[in-house]
Structure 1
Amino acid sequence: MNSLSDRLKIARKNAKISQSALAQKVGISQPSYQALESGKSGKSAYLLQIAQALKVNSEWLATGKGEMIKPLPENQFDENDFHVMEFWDSNTPLGDDEFEVPYYKDIEFLGGDGFESDTDDDGRRKIRYAYTAARRAGAVPSRVICLTLKGDSMEELIQDGSMIAVDRSKTDIREGKIYAFRHGNILRVKYLIPRPDGGLVIRSHNKAYEDEVITGDEMDAANIQIVGWVWNWSSLVVW
């Protein structure tokens, strides 16, 4: 993007926010912001605040250098990802930054030794997520479903009974990622680690469980089908 005007336009559209709403959030008048985005004004003392409101890299916005979205270090969260709790039901309209996904609550993927499920859960339950959270994670909203994790092999990271969000567009195996997958007739959630021979290592987070090794020669018989990448989960605290 060669101009501040161009960068403001793409960042605001990416954030799905109107000019007036952005101006109010930053604390300037709408005409003042409109002058920046139209190119009538080429500088502002509020660029840092605008960048923060749009969740973009302030250096990129001001100069065009670097990435538009500056990645956060692993396990660090943007304070803007936390919001005041709001109550809603199935009749509450979706917000501008929200999308709904089906929650197959009765389909349990096991974080343990295996679980076979033949439930008829039709996914009528819905869970809402923020587009900004999905974009930050790299998840594809239209391909996300929610399921239930059963068992203790992913503790202390994911607790027994937690809801997990699975992106079905991510079926390529990358080391260090957690996947929901079908292992024969068993539904499982584990770390999957590719082996040089074309096989897999199946790993639990709970150190009480040993790694399972499937060699390349054993892969066909193992009948492993990746459902998707587990990119989000609920934190369940038991009384």
Structure 2
Amino acid sequence: MSKQSQVLKGQRFRKALEDSGLTGAQLARILDLENDQNITNWKARGVPAYMVGEVALTLIVEREWLEGKDVPMRTPSTERNPPPPANGSPLYVLELMSPWDSGTPLEADEVELRLYKEVEVLSGPGKIPRKEIQEVTGPKLRFSRATMSSCGVDPSNAVFAINHSNSNHPLILSGATVGIDTGMTRIVDGEMYAIDHDGHFRIKFLQRTTSGIKLKNFNSIKFADEDYEFDQIMAQRFVILGRIFWWSSIRPLTAPPLI
């Protein structure tokens, strides 16, 4: 790589970082880097090839632009702000929701997410039932590529599942739909993850410890922290499915009070 190319890539990384509103330390934490020195190096030489995709998704810029190519910094799918209003029209207008079903064609900026859920399977000579987390056929969830890009999620890594626990009430209600980034399984302390715990789907805040992993809940009054050492993690089929990047739920009139 030429010196001129390194300088250009470094300049573009500095611009993208400044435009994102993140500090170097914050970006290093999001990317799970060991220290801030990587960020300092990238400001001078640009982002290395093996990290440029993840950095582009995180900073919401085009990957090719970050690589120093002659392309726009952003396209409509990575644009942060809406265009300015024309002719003095209001900036925000409430519009009716457009209903859709499985037969409605996808829009250009939409992708269908796969559904993952707990299923009971038969295994072994005696066909003893056990739980597994599997992709199932049936309903799909439509999601905006631009929204996933703003969350640093590659659409090919996105799946969804249904929460059936009150451990994170009222942040995430029982019955809520959650979006999972299966491309992000590294533990960033304080982030929320979907877990396959011996075939059971669980949503927990994860924190690394010197001997293993701590599972924490938003509803910490009713649900105590759980500590697992490395040998327990291996023995209990403990798998991090991915980071929770989105959640939503309906609110029926007959639902119990939130507070």
- TM-score, normalised on structure 2? 0.56
Whether 2:76 is the aligned partner of 1:15: answer yes
Q: Which residue of 2 aligns with 1:53?
A: 82
Distance change (3 Å), C-alpha of 1:183 and 1:97: same
On the 8 A contact 1:16/1:96 being kept in 2, the answer is: no
- Superposition map of 1:120-139 within 5 A: 122-139=136-153
1:123 aligned counterpart, secondary structure: strand
Gaps of 5+ in 1: 18-49, 56-78, 109-115
Distance change (3 Å), C-alpha of 1:52 and 1:221: closer
Quote the offset at 1:123 in angstroms: 2.8
CA distance in 1, matches of 2:72, 2:249: 35
Whether 2:204 is the aligned partner of 1:143: answer no
On the 8 A contact 1:192/1:203 being kept in 2, the answer is: yes
Q: Which residue of 1 aligns with 2:3?
A: none
Whether 2:112 is the aligned partner of 1:100: answer yes
CA deviation profile, 1:21-73 (whole Å, cap 9, x unmatched): xxxxxxxxxxxxxxxxxxxxxxxxxxxxx984369xxxxxxxxxxxxxxxxxx
CA distance in 1, matches of 2:77, 2:181: 22
- TM-score, normalised on structure 1? 0.60
Whether 2:213 is the aligned partner of 1:200: answer yes
On the 8 A contact 1:180/1:229 being kept in 2, the answer is: yes
Q: Which residue of 2 aligns with 1:85?
A: 97
CA deviation profile, 1:147-169 (whole Å, cap 9, x unmatched): 11102101111000111111111
Distance change (3 Å), C-alpha of 1:147 and 1:83: farther
1:220 aligned counterpart, secondary structure: helix
CA distance in 2, matches of 1:212, 1:151: 16
Aligned residue type for 1:53:
P
On the 8 A contact 2:133/2:200 being kept in 1, the answer is: no
1:150 aligned counterpart, secondary structure: coil
Quote the offset at 1:237 in angstroms: 1.9
Quote the offset at 1:201 in angstroms: 0.5
Distance change (3 Å), C-alpha of 1:83 and 1:180: farther
Aligned residue type for 1:15:
P
1:231 to 237, 242, 245: 245
Quote the offset at 1:141 in angstroms: 0.7
Q: Which residue of 1 aligns with 2:46?
A: none
Distance change (3 Å), C-alpha of 1:167 and 1:54: farther
The number of residues matched between the two structures is: 170
Quote the offset at 1:179 in angstroms: 0.9
